[in-house]
């Protein structure tokens, strides 16, 4: 009976989601805006909505997604590319429906992989034991290209910022650089650590207006996470706030963002699975000029 329920639930997910992979990359113009904690909690919220979620993490230990769940990432996707380990040995699963793929080392080498290594990566990712509905990428600011290739290959790039002036300035600077260097003209804005929804809306509207007036990019609103003591305490305990304090304001906000994310518009040309996405990622990685954003 349990197996039947699992199969039935998977079938319903495929039916409701159309079997289409959704890839969302989260970036930030500066550290300290709570990007990784946001990605972890949105991943939990999506998994609880019945989605199979894969979080690809570009950060090294102690500052990574695994640590937000109290886990230790011992291996990296690079170990799979180099045929040292199989993918299941690298993946972490903090809860049902949510897997974490540490990739801090692998993402730095994507543009230098041999054809054999590229094929090994494609074979591993396309051979995941369970289908993936949503990929969330926690992108590093320290990529040698100046911007994560995941952020270029993904359907959506979400810029996480806080209410501080420095955070807003750095976020706009990142959007401008990526727009000019890679012709990416659409981003979403997630405002974190904000005192009220009106404050978040005001921050978004101001940065969106400047970006539109200067022809930099079109910005859409992804949502806001309130200043919440429960979120801070949960982070200290290495537990998602949706688990530690499910009725807190921030937990409610994460659930709202996750629900909205599933309805973000996707064009027909973007229909495909994990293997197609990884092929596009490798293609882009081979073509990116290192440090192009810093030139």
C-beta of residue 219 within 8 angstroms of C-beta of residue 207: yes
Domains of the chain: 21-288 (3.40.50.300)
Distance (Å, whole) CA 148 – CA 282: 12
Residue given tokens 């990526």 in the structure block: 178
Smallest CA-to-CA distance from 41 within 201, 265, 230, 281 is with 230
Q: How confident is the model at residue 272 (pLDDT cuts 50, 70, 90)?
A: confident
φ, ψ dihedrals at 53, nearest 5°: -115, 135
φ, ψ dihedrals at 171, nearest 5°: -65, -45
φ, ψ dihedrals at 11, nearest 5°: -65, -40
Percent of the chain with pLDDT over 90: 69
Q: How confident is the model at residue 289 (pLDDT cuts 50, 70, 90)?
A: low
Distance (Å, whole) CA 80 – CA 86: 6
pLDDT in tens, 164-185: 899 999 999 999 999 998 889 9
Highest-confidence range of 57-66, 88-97, 280-289, by mean pLDDT? 88-97
Is pLDDT larger for residue 62 or for residue 16?
Answer: 62
Q: Is 188 exposed, middle or buried (0-12, 13-18, 19+ CB in 10 A)?
A: buried
Q: Whole-structure pTM over 0.95, yes or no?
A: no
């Amino acid at each position: 009976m349990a197996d039947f329920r699992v199969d039935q639930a998977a079938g319903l997910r495929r039916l409701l989601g159309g079997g289409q992979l959704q890839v969302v990359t989260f970036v930030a113009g500066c550290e300290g805006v709570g990007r990784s904690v946001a990605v972890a909690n949105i991943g939990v919220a999506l998994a609880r909505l019945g989605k199979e979620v894969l979080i690809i993490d570009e950060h090294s230990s102690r500052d990574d997604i695994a640590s937000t769940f109290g886990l230790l990432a011992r291996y990296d996707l690079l170990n799979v590319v180099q045929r040292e380990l199989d993918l299941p040995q690298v993946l972490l699963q903090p809860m049902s429906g949510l897997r974490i793929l540490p990739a801090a080392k692998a993402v730095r080498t994507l543009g230098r992989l041999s054809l054999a290594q590229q094929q090994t990566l494609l074979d591993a990712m396309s051979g995941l034991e369970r289908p993936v509905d949503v990929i969330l990428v926690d992108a590093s600011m320290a990529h040698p290209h100046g911007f994560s290739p995941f952020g270029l290959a993904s359907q959506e790039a979400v810029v996480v910022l806080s209410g501080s002036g420095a955070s807003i300035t750095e976020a706009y600077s990142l959007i401008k650089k990526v727009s000019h260097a890679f012709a990416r003209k659409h981003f979403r804005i997630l405002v974190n650590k904000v005192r009220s929804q009106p404050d978040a809306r005001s921050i978004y509207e101001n940065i969106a207006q400047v970006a539109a007036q200067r022809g930099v990019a079109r910005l859409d609103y992804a949502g806001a996470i309130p200043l919440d003591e429960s979120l801070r305490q949960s982070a200290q305990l290495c537990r998602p706030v949706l688990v530690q304090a499910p009725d807190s304001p921030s937990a409610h906000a994460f659930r709202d963002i996750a629900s909205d994310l599933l309805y973000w518009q996707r064009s027909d040309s973007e229909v495909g699975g994990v293997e197609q996405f990884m092929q596009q990622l490798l293609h882009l990685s081979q073509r990116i000029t290192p440090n192009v954003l810093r030139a």
